[in-house]
Structure 1
Amino acid sequence: MDQMHLMTVFVAVGEQESFAGASRSLNMSPAAITRAITALEEKLGAQLLQRTTRNVRLTEAGQRYLDDCRNILASIEEANGAAAGVNSTPKGNLTVTASVLFGKHFVTPCIVQFLKQYPEVDVSAYFLDRVVNLIEEGMDVAVRLGPLPDSSMKALRVGQMRRVLCASPEYLARHGVPRHPEELLQHTIIAASNITPRVEWKFGQGMDAITVRMKPRLTVTSNDAAIRAAVEGLGICRLLSYQMADELAAGKLKVVLPEFEEEPWPVHILHRESKYGSSKVRKFIDLLAQHLRTHPHLN
C-alpha cells in the first residue's frame, strides 16, 4: 500500500485510539483500516498499537511514530499547497491557544477581524489556563506569557506585562497600605494558583530580590474569582497587570508595593517550525503581532 495512505490511517487511529473512529473519519470500512495498520506494522517490523476487546493504545514506538507522521503529513500538505498557489489565499482551519483572560481580551478581537477578512478560514480557539503543547495537541499558534523554556518552536516577542499586587480602596482604608513585602504577612492574602497550603511571592530584581512565604486566606484556581474577591475587599491578590486593568482603571483596585515589582514578563507568539509556512498562519501572526505590539497594556 501507499506509504502516505498508511500514515494517514495510522494517524487517524492513533489520535482517536479507535479503529471505528478512524473508519468514520476517513470514510473507510473497518476491515480496510485493519488491513492498513497490519500492513504498516509488517512493513516497519514494529508493533505500533496495543489492541484489546475494549480499546486501542499506542505503544512507545507507536507514540514516537505518530509524532513523526503528523509532521511528515503536515509538511506534505504545505508543500502541495505552496506548489498549487494556495498560500496566496488563506484557507482551511486555524487552531489558536492562549490563557483564558488573555484570549478573551486580546486574541478574540484579532480572530474576529481575521475571519471577516478571510472568509475561507475557520478558527478553533482554545483558551485554557495551562500550557498547551502545540505539537501534541495540534495547535498552529499560541500566545505565551512569561519566560520561555528551550523549544523548537518559533517565538516572536510582542510585548511585556507586569505582575502587580492589588487591593480595593476599602480594604486598604481598613487595614493600611503595606510599605514593604514582609508586611504582607500581617495582611489577608488571596492566591490565584494551584491549591497549596502556602505561596511564595518574589519581589525586586537581581541581588535585591526578596521572597516572602505566606499562607493565603483564600486560594482559587480562577483569576476572575481572585479579582472578584479583591474588589469586594477581602484582601490583597497578585496577578498580571492586564488581568485587572479594567478594575484598576475604574478605581475598584489599587496597586500595592509598585516599587518592589519583579522584572516584567515577556509576551511571545509561538508557532511550529515549517519549511514552507502556511498563508493562514503567517497572516494571522502578522495581524496578532501588530495588535499586541501597539496595545497600551502590553508596552
Structure 2
Amino acid sequence: MDQVHLMNVFVAVGEEEGFAAAARRLDLSPAAVTRAIAGLEEQLGVRLLMRTTRNVRLTEAGQRYLDDSRSILASIEEANEAAAGVNSAPKGNLSVTASVLFGKMFVMPCILRYLNEFPQVEVSALFLDRVVNLVDEGIDVAVRIGHLPDSSLKALRVGQVRRVLCAAPDYLARHGMPQHPADLLRHTIVAAAGISPRVEWKFGAVDDPTLVRLRPRLTVSSNDAAIEAAVSGLGICRLLSYQVAEDVKADRLRIILADYEEAPWPVHLVHRESKFGSSKVRKFIDLLAEHLRAHQHLQ
C-alpha cells in the first residue's frame, strides 16, 4: 500500500483516538482504516496502537511514529506547494500562538495586516498563558518569552523584555519606596501566577541571586487582573515590562527596585523545522519579526 496513505491514516487514528472518527475524517470506510493500520503494523513489524472496546491508545513506538509521520507529511505538503509554485501566493491555514496579553498587543495587529495582504489564507490564533506544544497541537508559529530549551525547532530572536516590580504612586506614597528586595517583606504583594508562580522571588545575577520568600495578599492567574490590582493601589506586583509599559508611561504605575532586576528575557519566534520554506509561514514570520524588532517596548 502507498506509504503516504498509510501515514495519513495512522495520523488520523492517532489524533482522533479511534478508527470510526478517523474514517469520518478521511471519508473512508472503517474497514479500510482497519486494513491500513494492520498493513502498516505488519510492514513495520511493531505494534503502534493498543485497542480496547472503548478506545485506541498509542504505544510508545506509536507515539514516536506519529510525531515522525506528522513531520514527514508536513514536509511533503510543503514540497508539493513549492513545486506547484504556491509559494508566490500564500494560501491555506496558518496557526499562531502567544500569551494572552502579548498576543493582543503585538501579534493581532500583524495578523490583521497579514490577512489583508493575503486573502487566500485563514489564521487560527491561540492566545494562552501556557506553553503550547507546536507538534502536538499543530501550531505553525509561536512567540516564546524566556530562555529556550534545546529542541529541533527553529527560533528567531526578535526582542527582549524585563521582569519588573511596580506599584501605584498612591500605594508608594502610603507605604514608602522599597530600597532592597528584603523590604518587600513589609509590603502588600500581588502575585501574577503566570509571571511569578512561586512565592520565592529571585533578584540580581543568576550566579548570585538575592532570594526573598513572600506571602502574597492576592494571587491571580490573569495578568490583566494583577495589573488592575496594582493600579488600584493594592500593592506591589511583578510583571513583564511590556505589560505595564503604558501604565508606567501614564504614571499609573512606577517601577521599583530596578537596580535589582534580573537580566532581560529574550523574545523568540519559534516554528517547526522544515526543509522547504512554506510561503504562508515564512511571510508571516517576516512580517511579525519586523514589527516586533521595531517596537519600543521590546528593546
Q: Aligned-pair RMSD on alpha carbons?
A: 1.7
Matched residues, percent identical?
A: 73
User: Match of 1:243, SS?
Assistant: helix
Q: What number of residue pairs does the alignment pair up?
A: 299
Give the corresponding residue for 1:124: 124
> 1:80/1:62 Cα in 2 relative to 1: closer, same or farther (>3 Å)?
same
Give the corresponding residue for 1:296: 296
TM-score, structure 2 normalization: 0.96
TM-score, structure 1 normalization: 0.96
- 2:90, 2:124 → 1: CA distance? 15
Note if 1:10 corresponds to 2:10: yes
| Structure-to-structure mapping, 1:145-294, within 5 angstroms | 145-193=145-193, 199-205=199-205, 209-294=209-294
- 2:28, 2:249 → 1: CA distance? 57
Give the corresponding residue for 2:65: 65
- 2:151, 2:54 → 1: CA distance? 37
Counterpart contact for 1:197–1:216, Cα < 8 Å: no
- 2:294, 2:3 → 1: CA distance? 47
User: Match of 1:202, SS?
Assistant: strand
User: Match of 2:276, SS?
Assistant: coil
Q: Structure 1, residues 10-59: CA drift from partner, whole Å, max 9, x if none? A: 10010110212111111111111111111111111211111112111111
- 1:246, 1:170 → 2: CA distance? 17
Deviation of the 1:180 alpha carbon: 1.1
- 1:120, 1:228 → 2: CA distance? 39
- Give 1:129's aligned amino acid: D
Counterpart contact for 1:115–1:121, Cα < 8 Å: yes
| Structure-to-structure mapping, 1:4-43, within 5 angstroms | 4-43=4-43
Counterpart contact for 1:23–1:29, Cα < 8 Å: yes
Counterpart contact for 2:195–2:240, Cα < 8 Å: no
> 1:197/1:85 Cα in 2 relative to 1: closer, same or farther (>3 Å)?
closer
- Give 1:254's aligned amino acid: R
In structure 2, stretches of 5+ residues that fail to align are none
> 1:270/1:199 Cα in 2 relative to 1: closer, same or farther (>3 Å)?
same
